Chain A
């Protein structure tokens, strides 16, 4: 076999990542070493540590960064608490219903973060759902739930819970039933078994889930802006403000780099700490976990109750905001965030469908999502073949590079790309957006398609070959149909990921080129009508339909399998 095939197939995706991921990251690094902001100046200047010494010496930045880290840790703990019962529930679900149950996670995951944050506002507002419900029981309303760190943490937990659940599910599902039988035969009740067997065995999942959730939560700014009402500051908000509002790219870059380093440090700490809890991975002796005898009855009584309560809380947290958004789309209120049902109206839908509000932004989003999805698949497919069929040296290093965008703050890429577009005026802004969206999709597309390629039946290709089919015919008539479900799933997931992206996109949109979620976000920070909820409700419906279609060709729980 030609040993160049693997590297050749891997080249396109690597090149794309070098250009649109590594290059902006490099620009960010270089910019962060600028002494002073010069929005129209060159990229290369004599390096200086001025920005970093500003950040280190200014108590304000120190405060925001540490607040962000604490917020990230809080969200991680919250998602782990809510994620375990949910993942456990999914893993125990009969296969027949599992696809349906999975949509509980996938629908929120693929709905854009602005819409979900708007839903949380309707939940926590003074006249929102929580206060209405507690009002029935005569509990006085809590008027100050919005604009607090708690509100931001709840919103972020809503947004990132699906990632934690997917990570945990992977592990919980892979635990052999025999292990459970063994635990039971030794007298462990379900609650004790969970604590002593499932929990330790799921630690690798917890590790990757915690790292992803922390990274995303500590760089998010959309939910923090909407629910913190400018009273809560996160590093991501600072980066956006410095890069866009104050045109201080060096400071924004230095903050983004600080953020990246903090995140990576946390990831490293998390890995080290959790690895120490898993000595068996390195084949070291481990002390069996034992629970004191007197505690067992307590756990047996409390365990089922607490886990059920958490499960209900997790399900409500995931789905309620979306339901509220749909309800609000029929609400006759002057402002989108005004909670409390005042009267039924269809006027918001009328504006969306007949007056054409958001139509431009919608089409930009569709074009962008379709283009990015096609490019991402065209890049990921050869890469998947390289990984699955043509092993070459350095493959694992390359794979790590390909998946890197998943674990570095997207905000940083946004700052770098913004600067590149300002310098190279000839690059159309649309191309800049495609470049970034492809990067967001690639990690998912690569993992999805690699599993699909590995699942192909080589015997069929050999049979075709023996019957005289040339490689092109083999590819078109045998391989492609075999890959169809995988391609379809990757296509839909890619489309939805791009369609809902806000974090990086809002750095790069222009007045003539704004995507739908970015437009809703921009308006929601100023004045927003429930038209936004009407179009969001349509999008939620659209996501449900898309997932139903995907569910017919691929098992939904495989969408994120690694």
Chain B
């Protein structure tokens, strides 16, 4: 470069003085002040509405703070948080089970601590890589009018009647990983047999589409663009009940795939206390029950009394959770880049 770093810094500083002052405001103190802004990265749609009602409202009442949301899939926020390590613009980000554990290892987010009061009530499996906030398994969802017989196994996806009608989940998100790993299990492999996975999934091509979110998938169902996909059973149930009774949520013999949403506090956040309070409120009974009632997400804390009518639709307690198919996340995390590359090349496109 033609310019020395010091000279560049000086220049940047000079120019920085000209920028609006509130944008370069220095760090706020630890104890929450009125007007502090908590930035939360979370999924849009129903989840946004629930946390606005049951987390944001009490938090704002208590501290007079402001909450901003960045909505979207976990891929984007995970990447932003990594890119901003040391200068996080997020305070709380919601990640998938495997992303959260890796993020703690990489120094991007904090490990959970009892500073969050409800930490004590978390099931042990929800205390890794952050604070687990919901169990929600992934499974096959399909249009039952198009099925010659109900789907009872992950292998049924290979039934020729679905050819060209599958919306495969995008990349290595929760749904994507579930679909890929259950393919391995169903065809007699393990996480280490990615060759087998790719070969089998390639047999399913061409796909009707690649779906990047529930919202997109449900719309494809509405518009008749596809007939089958892999998605959260919880979310799909509320879609079935409110919009489209033709969709069936399969319970394959091999089991449904374990997935968990995890709330994580970024390393270096300037709103530590607010972030902890936020998560504590998320783990509180009103919020957990709202999640359970509206989108059938199962609570991760043991101190919630679930109404009887909801019990059959949820996964309650560590015992039921342990029946879901769990994967070797270390293998998955270690192979991530390699798998993503192969996904792009051989499965998408």
A contacts, CB < 8 Å to B: 18-19, 23, 26-27, 39-40, 60, 125-127, 143, 146-147, 229-233, 241, 244-248, 334-335, 337-339, 360, 367, 371, 418, 422, 424-431, 434, 510-514, 522-523, 525-528
Q: In the complex, are the beta carbons of A511 and B213 less than 8 A apart?
A: no
- Does B1 count as interface, using CB distance less than 8 angstroms? yes
The reply to whether B82 and A335 contact each other, CB–CB distance below 8 Å, is no
Which residues does chain B contribute within 8 Å of A523, judged by CB atoms? 44, 71-72
Q: A523-B44, A523-B72, A527-B45 are in contact. Are A430 and B79 (CB under 8 A)?
A: no
CB–CB A512/B39 < 8 A = yes
CB neighbours (8 Å) of A418 from chain B are 83
CB neighbours (8 Å) of B212 from chain A are: 230, 525-526
The reply on B27 being an interface residue by CB < 8 A is no
The tally of residues in B whose CB lies under 8 Å from a CB in A reads 62
Stretch at the interface among B84-92, B248-256, B311-319: B84-92
The chain B residue with its CB closest to the CB of A525 is: B212
CB contact list, B190-217 vs A, under 8 A: 207, 209-210, 212-216
Does residue B124 face the partner (Cβ distance < 8 Å to A)? no
A512 vs B83: C-alpha distance in the bound complex, in angstroms? Answer: 14
CB of A60 to closest CB in B, whole Å: 4
Residues of A within 8 A of B43 (CB): 526-527
Binary contact track B329-349/A, C-beta < 8 Å → 1, others 0:
000000001001100110011
The answer to whether residues A511 and B90 also contact, given A229-B210, A422-B83, A528-B215 and a CB cut-off of 8 A, is yes
Query: When A360-B68, A431-B16 are in contact, do A126 and B83 touch as well, CB less than 8 Å?
Result: no
Instruction: Pick the 8 closest A-B CB pairs, nearest first.
Output: A527-B215, A510-B89, A511-B89, A230-B210, A60-B345, A428-B24, A430-B23, A526-B213
Contact between A522 and B76, CB atoms less than 8 A apart: yes
Q: Is B305 an interface residue (CB 8 A)?
A: no
Given contacts A431-B15, A510-B84, A527-B43, 8 further A-B contacts (CB under 8 A): A233-B348, A233-B349, A334-B218, A371-B20, A425-B87, A511-B70, A511-B80, A526-B43
Q: Are A60 and B344 in contact (CB under 8 A)?
A: yes
CA distance A241 to B170 in the complex (A): 13
Cross-chain contact A338 with B83 (CB below 8 angstroms): no
**B68 contacts across to A, CB distance below 8 A:** 360, 511-512
Instruction: Return A451 CB to nearest CB of chain B, in Å.
Output: 29
CB of A512 within 8 A of CB of B223, answer no
**With A23-B3, A426-B12, A522-B76 in contact, is A527–B71 under 8 Å at CB?**
yes
Report yes or no: B16 in contact with A510, Cβ–Cβ below 8 A.
no
**A435 nearest in chain B by CB position:** B15
Contacts of A431 in B (CB 8 A): 12, 15-16, 19
Is chain A's binding surface mostly helix, strand, loop or mixed?
loop
Tell me how far the C-beta of B60 lies from the nearest C-beta in chain A, rounded to whole angstroms: 14
Q: Is B219 an interface residue (CB 8 A)?
A: yes
A146–B23 alpha-carbon span in the complex (Å): 40
Which residue of chain B is the closest to A340 with respect to CB atoms?
B223
A231 CA / B37 CA spacing, docked (Å):
38
- Docked CA distance A522–B69 (Å): 12
* Cβ distance B103 to chain A, nearest Cβ, rounded Å: 12
**Residue ID in chain A nearest B93 by CB atoms:** A511
Q: Measured between C-beta atoms, what is the minimum distance from B206 to chain A in Å?
A: 9
Residue of A nearest to B341 (CB): A60
Docked complex Cα distance between A229 and B215 (Å): 13
Kindly provide the distance from the CB of A361 to the nearest chain B CB, expressed in whole angstroms: 10
Are B215 and A244 in contact, with the CB atoms below 8 A? Answer: no
Q: Which residues of A contact B84 (CB under 8 A)?
A: 422, 510
* Distance to closest chain B CB from A286 (angstroms): 46
Cβ of B209: which chain A residues have Cβ within 8 Å of it? 147, 229, 231
B223 to chain A, nearest CB (A): 5
**Inside 8 A of A334's CB, which chain B residues have their CB?**
218-219, 243
| 8 Å CB contact of A427 from B16, B76, B223 | B16
Contact residues of B between 8 and 46, Cβ < 8 Å to A: 8-9, 11-13, 15-16, 19-20, 23-24, 37, 39, 41, 43-45
Known A230-B212, A428-B23, A512-B37: A244·B73 in contact at CB below 8 Å: no
B75 lies within 8 A of chain A by Cβ: yes
Given A126-B223, A337-B219, A244:B214 Cβ within 8 A: no
11 interchain pairs, CB-CB under 8 A:
A19-B8, A231-B209, A231-B349, A232-B349, A244-B83, A339-B223, A371-B20, A511-B39, A511-B68, A525-B72, A526-B71
B328 within 8 A of A: no
